[in-house]
Amino acid sequence: MTDAKRALKKGGGVLGAVKEIGIILVGALVASTLLRMFLLQVFVIPSGSMENTMLIGDRVAVQKVSGFQRGDIVVFKDDLGWLRSTTKPPQQWWQSGLTFVGLLPDESQNYLIKRVIGMPGDHISCCDSAGRLVVNGFALEESEYLFKDASGKQVQPSEMVFDIVVPQGKIFVMGDHRNASSDSRCHLDATYNGVAGASAFVSQSSVVGQAVATVFPFSRIGGHPRPATFAGVPAATGTAPASPVINGQPPPAC
């Protein structure tokens, strides 16, 4: 074999290897994008509203395949405008690209994460004589997940008194750190699209998915199963109302 043929063969081998690597990278990016869009997405916890279940800076995996129930933790779009306006430096183009394909966690500020306390038609009140939330007549035992401080003192299930029925297609959500969470309770006295209390209830269509696990930092890796207490909640009776039912005086905004 002449030197020219050897050089040509060697060049073809290099080009072939580069082409193969390129195909692999494109395939990996496509797979990652599809995974993010339809199956799983990672989000960064921005606040202390879910402490100590989730801490600020935790990365949590959110599954988009199956639905969710009472007791599950969900990520949802802030379609109701709960978030206060904040100034955040825009992402670089490459950061936006890596976030889109799922190689960086989503740190955008138009998502929230809370625990589902009530589904459509559920009657939720706070609180019974023992200070517990009551869902469809069942008192929740929430010590499994409610925030505790360094001394072990647990927050109350809610210092805000309310009595509501969740309307059709909506959910009622609360943070695990009840004293540091601007959740459904904080919007019961507001009017949205002309409906009193409507901004307190998150549309099921706004839910991105269920937070199933903390994946980073490594010291906090672990799953987030549905707390056992929710298994005791009976199904709602009757048909969910078209509009929110708020009995008595709603609590003031947080």
pLDDT at 251 over 80: yes
What's residue 154's pLDDT? 98
- Please check whether residue 79 lies inside any domain of the structure: yes
Question: Would you tell me how many other CB atoms lie within 10 Å of the CB of residue 43?
Answer: 22
Per-residue model confidence as pLDDT tens digits over 50-70: 999 999 999 999 999 999 999
CA distance 74 to 67: 10
- Please check whether residue 124 lies inside any domain of the structure: yes
The answer to whether 109 and 124 are in contact (CB under 8 A) is no
Instruction: List the CATH number of the domain containing 208.
Output: 2.10.109.10
The answer to whether 163 and 247 are in contact (CB under 8 A) is yes
What's residue 87's pLDDT? 47
Percent of the chain with pLDDT over 70: 75
What's residue 30's pLDDT? 46
CA distances to 158, 169, 171, 203 from 126, in Å: 7, 22, 16, 22
**3-state SS class at 33:** helix
- How many structural domains is the chain composed of? 1
If pLDDT is split at 50, 70 and 90, which confidence band does 222 have? very high
Dihedral of alpha carbons 28, 32, 33, 35, sign: positive
The 8-class DSSP code of residue 147 comes to -
**Which structure tokens are listed for 177?**
């750190």
Active-site option among 88, 108, 114, 158:
114
Per-residue model confidence as pLDDT tens digits over 123-156: 999 999 999 999 999 999 999 999 999 999 999 9
- Please check whether residue 251 lies inside any domain of the structure: no
The answer to whether 127 and 161 are in contact (CB under 8 A) is yes
The answer to whether 93 and 122 are in contact (CB under 8 A) is no
What's residue 109's pLDDT? 60
Strands (E) across the chain are located at 40-44, 59-63, 73-77, 111-118, 123-126, 133-135, 138-139, 162-165, 170-174, 191-192, 195-196, 202-203, 207-216, 222-223, 245-246
What's residue 28's pLDDT? 46
- Please check whether residue 145 lies inside any domain of the structure: yes
pLDDT, greater one: 204 or 34: 204
Is 49 designated active site? yes
- Please check whether residue 155 lies inside any domain of the structure: yes
pLDDT, greater one: 11 or 48: 48
Nearest to 123 by CA among 110, 109, 137, 112: 137
Active-site option among 5, 9, 10, 49:
49
What's residue 102's pLDDT? 45
Please give the mean pLDDT across all residues of the chain.
86
Per-residue model confidence as pLDDT tens digits over 58-102: 999 999 999 999 999 999 999 999 997 554 555 555 455 555 544
What's residue 8's pLDDT? 45
CA distance 134 to 247: 14
Range of the domain at 117: 50-89+109-246
- Please check whether residue 131 lies inside any domain of the structure: yes
- Please check whether residue 210 lies inside any domain of the structure: yes
- Please check whether residue 21 lies inside any domain of the structure: no
Is 114 designated active site? yes
pTM, two decimal places: 0.82
Per-residue model confidence as pLDDT tens digits over 19-43: 666 555 554 444 444 455 547 999 9
